[in-house]
A and B are shown apart, each in its own frame.
Chain A
Amino acid sequence: MNEFSTLVQFFFSGLTSGSVYALIAVSLVIVYKVSLLICFAQGEFFVIGALTMVTLTSKGLPMPLAFACSVLISAAVGALVERFLIRPIRDASVGSLIVMTIAISLALRGLALLIWGKESKILPPFSAGKPIGVFGATLQPQVLWIIGITILVLLVIWLFFEKTTMGVAMRACAENRLGASLMGISTEKAAFLSWAWGSGIGALAGMAVAPLLFMQYSSGVMPMVKGFIAMSVGGLASIVGAVVAGYLLGVVEAYTIGLISSQFSDTIVFTLLIIVLIFKPSGLFGATRSREV
């Protein structure tokens, strides 16, 4: 147990937390990119995804099938929420919309409490196996799964938004609403799909990280706040930025805890966030484009 392996362990610890923050930040960015809305209910989709998967696997469904079903169920819930709760007030101010997402998060959390009860649930890791040892430090194999899933998600998002007609249309909506609607692109449909995407990826994040945590109906709040931070450091509308910022946040947190103070680590991290925002108001990776949006 030398000094070096301790430093590596700090890094692995940061990687583990960071992988949680990055995936949830991606789900926040997806909704924001298309509907310019920060969704406070995202933590609930995270929980719903994980808990649905726990239920399905305990009912004997094979892992991959349970995984797919949970994503689809959550995406459907997200799309329904958009259709019946967000669309009726889409002309209201951004503030009212945010408050609406807060109300939705309360309702979904209340629903999760009724469905899954209060005790924490465990989801087994996707692959059994011993922790991976490098230079005397250890990493849980599940973290590699999360990283893999993150890369896959980035790839799918890229393919969808760059290569499919629907994806390009949705991007157009984000960049110029009026222009898009003049060109016959339905902004309603785009918002609907972005919610489906956002909640689906939120659920995916929940399922992927659940084996690292213990999931209960109110477990979504902490990852969501950290997701917000990653999102704003990453520049709000940049998906790659959110991923990088998520891991950065995890690693910075770990080294702050390890080298400076475990008592004041949050104070330091939040102070750093304010400093980053002040000196780089559009985030570390904010493109100039997103500022105009």
Chain B
Amino acid sequence: MKKTLVVMAVVTSLFFCTGLFNGAQAQSKTPYKIGFIVPLTGYLSWLGEYMKKGAEVKVEMINRAGGVNGRPLELVSYDDQSLPETATRHAQRLISRDGVVAMMGTGTAVVSGAVSSVANKSKVPAVIQSGYALSDKETFTFNNAHPTDFAISRPMMYFQKKGISRVALLMPIGPLGELGSGIARKHAPTYKITLVGEEKFDVKAPDVTTQLAKLRTLNPQAIMAFTTGEPAALLARNMAQMGMNIPLVVSHGNATPGFLKLVAQTPGTVIVPSGKIMATETLADTDPVKKVVVEFSRAYQAKYGEPANYYSGQQADAVALIAEGLRVTKSDDPVKLRDAIENTKNFPGCNGVYNMSPTDHQGTRTEDMILLTIKDGKWAVLD
């Protein structure tokens, strides 16, 4: 019995601690707070880093230009560790304690699912960036990343042009692979492509030559592997080891300096679908996104001493979309903000020109993507 008394005392004091701790923060009315949920630790932390830099640069650019409606933007960033439970807690904290007007970020489909669930329950708009496919019920969620649909049909478009018709799929076990596999099957007939076979692989496996050997017996002319980062680089390396000299298409998440470093020394053709931000110098002056892309790239280069990449551009677009929504509504009401973002029209960003509607919460088109490959250790435009 005495033991229990002590337990109670500690539990109580802990609860009081949280109460005090949470009560201490002051609410400042001036800035618009934007909640930002990113993977800063865990296996996708490198990605979170690019997202964070992109968001910071864009927020600085907007604030330097006088903010939105005379009020500055403020980022409140939390690390989701790529875990849905952690993301849920952060999303709740952002909404009910930090009082954000909108949320953005994520990067992985599972974290997007968790954040979207909270956003729709609490009726606060969330502009996410991942391969997460939105359902009709998720009226408060936007996904401004190029959807997997584009990233798969864009290379298929190129294959058709080049007369490549036999393609094998090598998909990671995980959300990206599931999505990629389904969409590839859907689009293949449109571009007269035969899918000769499909294998799965564990993204943490140290070797994938088994799957490659199996696929090789089917004589594919190209391999599509919807995977990001280290596993994508490992595939390229294993293919080089086996002397498989056919193009490897990986996910659009790979257009980063980090991935470039991983595969620069590997022979073979790696194709990465990406956005125009990766090829600023080749953009025509008439291109509607040129001004936005060039200005952002310049600011990014100035701040971080490295060229802007696909992820940072995508994140900057999320900031811009929220800022534009705030500018239009001139209010802190999340429902009105949602409506404003939903009605965004002809809005140029790094990922293309956004045209949102109640049925399209993504906004860009397949043609807004380009295909990259690696030449002499540098990104080069393939198509």
List residues of A whose CB falls within 8 A of some B CB. 1, 3, 5-6, 9-10, 12-14, 16-17, 20, 113, 118-120, 122, 131, 137-138, 140, 209, 212-214, 216, 218, 222-223, 254, 257-258, 262-263, 265-266
Assess whether B246 is interfacial by the CB under 8 Å rule: no
Assess whether B199 is interfacial by the CB under 8 Å rule: yes
Assess whether B60 is interfacial by the CB under 8 Å rule: no
Does B210 contact A13, Cβ atoms closer than 8 Å? yes
Contacts A9-B242, A258-B210: A214 and B230 contacting too (C-beta < 8 A)? yes
On chain A, the residues within 8 Å of B261 by CB distance are 119, 122
A258 CA to B199 CA, complexed, in Å = 9
- How far in angstroms is the closest Cβ of chain B from A270? 13
On chain A, the residues within 8 Å of B258 by CB distance are 119-120
Extra inter-chain contacts (12) besides given A10-B213, A262-B211, CB under 8 Å: A5-B213, A9-B242, A118-B48, A131-B241, A216-B43, A218-B45, A222-B204, A258-B211, A258-B213, A258-B214, A262-B200, A263-B200
- How far in angstroms is the closest Cβ of chain B from A264? 9
Assess whether B207 is interfacial by the CB under 8 Å rule: yes
On chain A, the residues within 8 Å of B41 by CB distance are 113, 118, 218
In this complex, the member of B41, B42, B199, B209 whose beta carbon has the largest number of chain A beta carbons within 10 angstroms is B209
CB-based nearest B residue for A137: B213
Task: List 7 contacting pairs A-B, 8 Å CB cutoff, sorted by A.
Answer: A13-B210, A113-B41, A118-B46, A131-B243, A213-B206, A214-B233, A257-B210
Assess whether B202 is interfacial by the CB under 8 Å rule: yes
Does A263 contact B173, Cβ atoms closer than 8 Å? yes
On chain B, the residues within 8 Å of A212 by CB distance are 206-207
Contacts A119-B46, A131-B241, A138-B241: A16 and B213 contacting too (C-beta < 8 A)? no
On chain A, the residues within 8 Å of B233 by CB distance are 214
On chain A, the residues within 8 Å of B43 by CB distance are 216, 218
A122 CA to B262 CA, complexed, in Å = 7
- How far in angstroms is the closest Cβ of chain A from B243? 7
CB-based nearest A residue for B233: A214
On chain B, the residues within 8 Å of A262 by CB distance are 173, 199-201, 210-211
- How far in angstroms is the closest Cβ of chain A from B163? 22
Q: Mark B240-274, 1 if CB is under 8 A from A, else 0.
A: 01110000000000000010011001000000000
Assess whether B98 is interfacial by the CB under 8 Å rule: no
On chain A, the residues within 8 Å of B22 by CB distance are none
- How far in angstroms is the closest Cβ of chain A from B377? 13
On chain A, the residues within 8 Å of B192 by CB distance are none
Assess whether B123 is interfacial by the CB under 8 Å rule: no
Does B204 contact A9, Cβ atoms closer than 8 Å? no
Does A138 contact B242, Cβ atoms closer than 8 Å? yes
Does A131 contact B242, Cβ atoms closer than 8 Å? yes
Residue total for B at the interface (Cβ-Cβ under 8 A):
37
A16 CA to B210 CA, complexed, in Å = 11
On chain B, the residues within 8 Å of A120 by CB distance are 46, 229-230, 258, 262
Does B217 contact A17, Cβ atoms closer than 8 Å? no
A222 CA to B230 CA, complexed, in Å = 14
- How far in angstroms is the closest Cβ of chain A from B50? 10
CB-based nearest B residue for A139: B241
A59 CA to B296 CA, complexed, in Å = 34
A226 CA to B200 CA, complexed, in Å = 19
Does A138 contact B234, Cβ atoms closer than 8 Å? no
CB-based nearest B residue for A215: B230
Shortest Cβ-Cβ A-B pairs, 6 listed? A9-B213, A118-B45, A222-B204, A262-B200, A13-B210, A16-B207
In this complex, the member of B46, B205, B212 whose beta carbon has the largest number of chain A beta carbons within 10 angstroms is B205
A212 CA to B212 CA, complexed, in Å = 16
- How far in angstroms is the closest Cβ of chain A from B233? 6
- How far in angstroms is the closest Cβ of chain B from A113? 7
On chain B, the residues within 8 Å of A1 by CB distance are 213, 216-217
Does A218 contact B42, Cβ atoms closer than 8 Å? yes
Contacts A3-B217, A122-B261, A262-B200: A13 and B209 contacting too (C-beta < 8 A)? yes
Does A17 contact B206, Cβ atoms closer than 8 Å? yes
Assess whether B49 is interfacial by the CB under 8 Å rule: yes
CB-based nearest A residue for B204: A222
- How far in angstroms is the closest Cβ of chain B from A90? 27
CB-based nearest B residue for A261: B200
- How far in angstroms is the closest Cβ of chain A from B48? 8
In this complex, the member of B42, B46, B213, B230 whose beta carbon has the largest number of chain A beta carbons within 10 angstroms is B213
Does B216 contact A6, Cβ atoms closer than 8 Å? yes
A258 CA to B211 CA, complexed, in Å = 6
A200 CA to B213 CA, complexed, in Å = 36
Contacts A3-B217, A120-B46: A214 and B234 contacting too (C-beta < 8 A)? yes
Which residues from 251 to 307 on chain B have a C-beta closer than 8 Å to any C-beta of chain A? Answer: 258, 261-262, 265
A113 CA to B210 CA, complexed, in Å = 32
On chain B, the residues within 8 Å of A10 by CB distance are 210, 213
A151 CA to B173 CA, complexed, in Å = 34
On chain B, the residues within 8 Å of A131 by CB distance are 241-243
On chain A, the residues within 8 Å of B217 by CB distance are 1, 3, 6
- How far in angstroms is the closest Cβ of chain B from A208? 12
Does A20 contact B213, Cβ atoms closer than 8 Å? no
A108 CA to B233 CA, complexed, in Å = 26
A118 CA to B262 CA, complexed, in Å = 14
A120 CA to B47 CA, complexed, in Å = 11
A13 CA to B258 CA, complexed, in Å = 26
Does B173 contact A13, Cβ atoms closer than 8 Å? no
A223 CA to B201 CA, complexed, in Å = 16
Q: Mark B185-210, 1 if CB is under 8 A from A, else 0.
A: 00000000000000111101111111
A122 CA to B237 CA, complexed, in Å = 12
CB-based nearest B residue for A8: B213
On chain B, the residues within 8 Å of A218 by CB distance are 41-43, 45
Does A6 contact B214, Cβ atoms closer than 8 Å? yes
Q: Mark B60-97, 1 if CB is under 8 A from A, else 0.
A: 00000000000000000000000000000000000000
Does A17 contact B216, Cβ atoms closer than 8 Å? no
On chain B, the residues within 8 Å of A209 by CB distance are 206
A49 CA to B215 CA, complexed, in Å = 35
A222 CA to B173 CA, complexed, in Å = 15
